[in-house]
Amino acid sequence: MMEHRVVSDNGLASSPEGCVIDIRLPWYRSLPLSVVQIDEVQIDGEVIDKDKVTFELEGERMPLSELRPKTGTVWYVLDSAFLHIDGIDVAKGSEHEVAVTVSFRPPYIAGLNRIVKTTKTLSAN
Amino acid sequence: MAANDSGLKLGTTLYSMTPAFHGREYTFEQLVRKVAAEGIGPGLEVVGFQSIKGFPTITDEYADWFKGLIAETGLTLSCLGINADLRIDPDKPMSDDESVEYHARQLEAAAKLGFPLVRYQYPAGPDVIGRLAPLAEKLGVKMGLEIHAPHHPNHPDVIAFREMYERVGSPMLGFIPDFGATARAVPPSFFDAQRANGVPEDLITLAQEFWVEEGEPYQRRDRYIAAARARGFQDRHIMSLVIIFGLFSRAAPESWAEIMHQVIHIHGKFFDFDENGDEIAVDYARVLPVFVEGGYDGFMSSEYEGHMWTDADGFDKIRRHHAMARRILEGVAA
């Protein structure tokens, strides 16, 4: 069951720019970033403007629109990626409802677009 | 470890433990050691893109470590799951040349890790697989097409591979039946999970009516969708049930007999057990004798897939599956 796995437990942290959400690929195997999309990020019910969000994998940060060309970058199934949210400040220890929707097209199944949304209430680190 | 006098040997695919692995409760090494300790080998199947970071690149160091681990546990590598990732660029599927190269790298990884065979997927197409036969022969790694629902041995997509096998005539090309293709029911835990998500009982009943009808699965799926919409059910509820038409099919278990001489591995797909320890969706008492009587010689990986909708303990499920399989196989042998 993958519905609860996009947003990691204990996966919210404050950062100098705003906050960071620890996310996972909700699938049994690794996939190239070119088939993955971050569809929506909500914090406390507010949909975050995609321009304020960047995606980080293995130390490399990119705008959400830059996942699509990354045919050679694989998101390993055990690795966290991080969504950096600019301008949304969360105080350490404060609780927030975080929702992230990820969709992906398994490259061996023509026509399937899997959409998974996880909502969790997290205390910021 | 043989459960019987037949050539059908038991094993496990680590795919069954996807929640424990994904949830970082067990590392790959810990899963392998637990399979050995629990006696749910001796066959061990691995999905390359799940268990191995950087797959299909396999360093010498990793291969040494991997082979050492397998030797230490006493397990036997049965199958490496490889993928036909033709749409890494969603707008531009791989050419046949690119696909041959993509599959070749995975075959080479299998050889380097010591696997005797790979599971490949039908989107690869007969032409690409036919072109890989010489490499498979050189590496000593067999290639098995997974026949997964909604396919079955006489589906046109599968017939195309059977005809290619006939033409190419390589001993390295075979089939891997997945028992979800010859199911008798939809697993009850699937519907339980949908009920928990608010899917109405009447809609579940309607979907089951179309699932048990005769005819091509995707046509039955489309008729179910139309009927459910006509009755005013919510689309998100309707769509949450459509995967039953792709995951579980009702081909006759006896249909495997036709391709038995080319079966090189089995995916013993399973989900739920009744109070007698029998699998509810797949009639193992009917399907296993087909393989014993057909003289099958190889492994059956216990492949639990209920993790798509529950986080039930995969190890517990596999212990039950092995107990059931042993009981049935002993009955066939007696």
Give the pair of three-digit tokens for residue A35.
Answer: 């088939």
In chain B, residues with a C-beta closer than 8 Å to the C-beta of A110 are 86-87, 123
Whether residue B137 is predicted with pLDDT greater than 70 in this model: the reply is: yes
The distance between the two most distant Cα atoms of chain A, rounded to a whole number of Å, is 44
Task: Find the domain containing A30 and state its range.
Answer: 7-123
**Tokens 């190419």 appear where?**
B168
> What dihedral angle (degrees, nearest 10) is formed by the CA atoms of B245, B247, B248, B254?
120
In chain B, residues with a C-beta closer than 8 Å to the C-beta of A79 are 53
Give the pair of three-digit tokens for residue A85.
Answer: 């949210």
Q: Which of B50, B61, B42 is nearest to B19 (CA)?
A: B50
Which ipTM score applies to this complex?
0.97
- The answer to whether B161 and B145 are in contact (CB under 8 A) is yes
Supply the CATH number for residue A62's domain. Answer: 2.60.40
Q: Closest-CA residue in chain A for B47?
A: A29
Confidence band, pLDDT 50/70/90 cuts, at residue B6: confident
DSSP B116-172: SEEEE-GGG-HHHHHHHHHHHHHHT-EEEEEE-TT--TTSHHHHHHHHHHHHH--TT
Whether residue B3 is predicted with pLDDT greater than 60 in this model: the reply is: no
Whether residue B5 is predicted with pLDDT greater than 80 in this model: the reply is: no
DSSP letter at B92? S
Q: By the CB < 8 Å criterion, does B47 face chain A?
A: yes
Superfamily of segment(s) B7-187+248-333: Divalent-metal-dependent TIM barrel enzymes (3.20.20.150)
CA distance linking residue B130 with residue B110, whole number of Å: 18
For the segment B16-25, the average pLDDT, to the nearest whole number, is 98
**Bridge partners, A42 (sequence order):** A47, A99
Phi and psi (nearest 5°) for B191? Answer: -70, -35
Contacts of residues B153-157 at CB distance under 8 Å and 24 or more positions apart, as own/partner, are B153/B251, B153/B255, B153/B256, B153/B258, B153/B259, B154/B251, B154/B255, B154/B258, B157/B122
CA distance linking residue B176 with residue B158, whole number of Å: 11
Give the pair of three-digit tokens for residue B242.
Answer: 């459509």
- The answer to whether B256 and B209 are in contact (CB under 8 A) is no
From the list B103, B148, B151, B321, the catalytic residue is B148
Give the pair of three-digit tokens for residue B193.
Answer: 């999970």
Domain residue limits, chain B: 7-187+248-333, 189-240
SS3 at position B235? helix
Whether residue B232 is predicted with pLDDT greater than 60 in this model: the reply is: yes
Provide the CB-side half-sphere exposure for B165 (13 A, CA): 18
**Cβ burial B100-124 (10 Å sphere, 16+ → b, else e):** bebbbebbbbbbbbebbbbbbbbbb
Q: pLDDT tens for residues B166-221? A: 999 999 999 999 999 999 999 999 999 999 999 999 999 999 999 999 888 999 99
Of B15, B50, B84, nearest to A108 by CB-CB distance is B84
In chain B, residues with a C-beta closer than 8 Å to the C-beta of A31 are 49
- The answer to whether A3 and A118 are in contact (CB under 8 A) is yes
- How many Å lie between the alpha carbon of B194 and the closest alpha carbon of chain A? 12
Give the pair of three-digit tokens for residue A27.
Answer: 């699938």
DSSP B165-211: HHHH--TTEEEEEBGGGB-SS--HHHHHHHHHTT--HHHHHHHHHHH
CA distance linking residue A1 with residue B109, whole number of Å: 29
In chain B, residues with a C-beta closer than 8 Å to the C-beta of A71 are 88-89
B5 or B251: which leads in pLDDT:
B251
With respect to residue A15, please indicate whether it lies within any of the assigned structural domains: yes
Q: Closest-CA residue in chain A for B243?
A: A112
Whether residue B14 is predicted with pLDDT greater than 60 in this model: the reply is: yes
Q: pLDDT tens for residues B281-334? A: 999 999 999 999 999 999 999 999 999 999 999 999 999 999 999 999 999 876
Number of domains in chain A: 1
With respect to residue A1, please indicate whether it lies within any of the assigned structural domains: no
Residues in Cβ contact with A75 at an 8 Å cutoff, skipping those fewer than 6 apart? A25, A30, A31, A32, A33, A36, A57, A81
Q: Give the dihedral sign, CA B43/B110/B177/B312.
A: positive
In the residue annotation, B307 being an active-site residue is answered as: no
Q: pLDDT tens for residues B272-281? A: 999 999 999 9
